[in-house]
Structure 1
Amino acid sequence: MPQRSDQRTRDSFADDFTETLQDDAADSESAASSSSASFAQRLQHRAVSVFSPRVFLYALVLLGGGMVGASAFVPLPFLDNLAGLLGVFVGAFVLGLAVERSTMLESAAAGAVAAGLATLLSHLTLTVASGFGVPLAAFGAGTGLLAGALGAYFGGDLREGLTADI
C-alpha cells in the first residue's frame, strides 16, 4: 500500500529508488530474454553488461586525473612516465574498490587511452621528427592497459575481501 506523501520517511525515497532500479533491471532482462526481442536488442544488452560506456568515461577521467596528479606530485626525476603509470594504477584501484561489478575491461581500456596519449604528447618531437611515434605510443598504451587492469583487479579483490562474510 503506498504511503501518503506527508507520511514518507527519508529512507522510503531510497527504498523507492532501489525498487525502481530493480524493476528496470528486471524489465530489461525480461525484454532481452523474450522471444519477441530482436537480436540487436539482445546483443546490445549483452554488450552493455560486459563493457559499459558510462563506466569507461568515469574510468578515463579518474585514470587520466590520477596520471596527471601522480606525474605532477610524485618526485621521480626522469621517471615521469613511471609516476603516471602509478597514478593509473591507483585510479583503477579506487574505481575497482568503489564499483560493485568488475571494471577491469573499462579500466584497462581507459588506462591504454590515457597512457598512450600521454606518451605520445610527452614525446611529441620524437613522434613528429622520426618514425618512432607509433611504436612508442603503442608501448605506452600497453603499459597503461596493464596498469589499469591490475589496479582494477586488486581494487575489486580488496572490495570482495572486505565485504565477504566471515
Structure 2
Amino acid sequence: MPQRSDQRTRDSFADDLSETLRDDASEQEPQSSSSFVQRAKRRAGSIFSPRIFLVALALLGGGMFAGNAFIPLPILDNLAGLLGVFAGAFVLGLAVERSTILESAAAGTVAAGLTALLGNLALTAFGDAGLPLAVFGAGTGLLAGTLGAYFGGDLRDGLTADI
C-alpha cells in the first residue's frame, strides 16, 4: 500500500534528500569549471534582472504618468504619481514569482526622478532648487517602488502559501 506524504518514514525522506543533493551536485559540476566572469554574471542576474527592470520601468513610468494625468490638482500631482508608482510596483510584485524589490526600487527612482526633473525644468535649468527637487523626487520614487513591490510580493506569498 502506498504511503501518504504525511506518513513517510525517515529513511524515505533521507533517500529523497540525498537524491536531490546528488542531482544538485551533478548540476553544479559544469558550473565549477566555468570562468569567474560567467559565474559573476549568473549571480548578478539572480540578484538584479535587466529584463524585469525594463518591465518595471515601463510599468512604474506608466503608473506615474497615469497618476499625474488623472488627478489634475497641482498640489496633489506628485502624490498621485507616487501612488501610480506604488500601484505599478504592487502589480509587478504580485505577478512575478521572484522578488522584484530591487528592480522596482531602481525603476521607481528613475521614473520619479525624471518626472520631478522634467516637471521643474525651469528651476533645474535656471535656479539652484531644481536638483534638490529631483533628488527628493527620486528618493520618494525609491520608497514607493520598494514598498509597492514588497507588499505585492507579500500578498502573493500569502495567497499561494499552504494553510
Name 2:108's counterpart in structure 1: 111
Q: In the TM superposition, what is the alpha-carbon distance from 1:126 to its structure 2 partner?
A: 0.7
The amino acid that maps onto 1:104 is I
Q: TM-score, normalised by structure 2?
A: 0.80
1:140 is matched by which residue type in structure 2? G
Q: Against the structure 1 CA distance between its residues 75 and 128, is the aligned structure 2 distance closer, same or farther, given a 3 Å change threshold?
A: closer
Divergent runs of 4+, >2 A: 29-35, 74-77
Q: Residue 98 of structure 2 corresponds to which residue in structure 1?
A: 101
The residue aligned with 2:130 is 133
Match among 78, 83, 103 for residue 81 of structure 1: 78
2:32 partner SS: coil
Partner in structure 1 of residue 159 of structure 2: 162
Q: Secondary structure at the match of 1:54?
A: helix
AA aligned to 2:70 is F
Q: 1:32 to 1:164 in 2, by over 3 A?
A: same
Count of residue pairs the alignment pairs up: 139
- Does residue 1:150 correspond to 2:147, yes or no? yes
Q: Secondary structure of 1:78's partner?
A: coil
The alpha-carbon deviation at position 51 of structure 1 amounts to 0.1
The percentage of aligned residue pairs carrying the same residue is 71
1:69 aligns with 2:91: no
- CA deviations 1:11-69 (Å, max 9, x no partner) are xxxxxxxxxxxxxxx9xx94786331100000000000000000000000000000101
Larger radius of gyration: 2
CA distance in 2, matches of 1:54, 1:32: 28
Over 3 Å counting, the alpha-carbon distance change for 1:32 and 1:69 in structure 2 is farther
Report if aligned partners of 2:31, 2:39 keep a CA contact under 8 Å in 1: no
Q: What amino acid sits opposite 2:75 in the alignment?
A: F
Q: Secondary structure of the equivalent of 1:112?
A: helix
Alignment-derived partner of residue 58 in structure 1: 55
- Counterpart position of 1:22: none
Contact 1:88 1:111 in 2 (8 A): yes
Task: Please give the alpha-carbon distance, in whole angstroms, between the structure 2 residues aligned to 1:70 and 1:76.
Answer: 11
8 Å Cα contact 2:109-2:141 kept in structure 1? yes
- Kept after mapping to 2: 8 A contact 1:89/1:147: yes
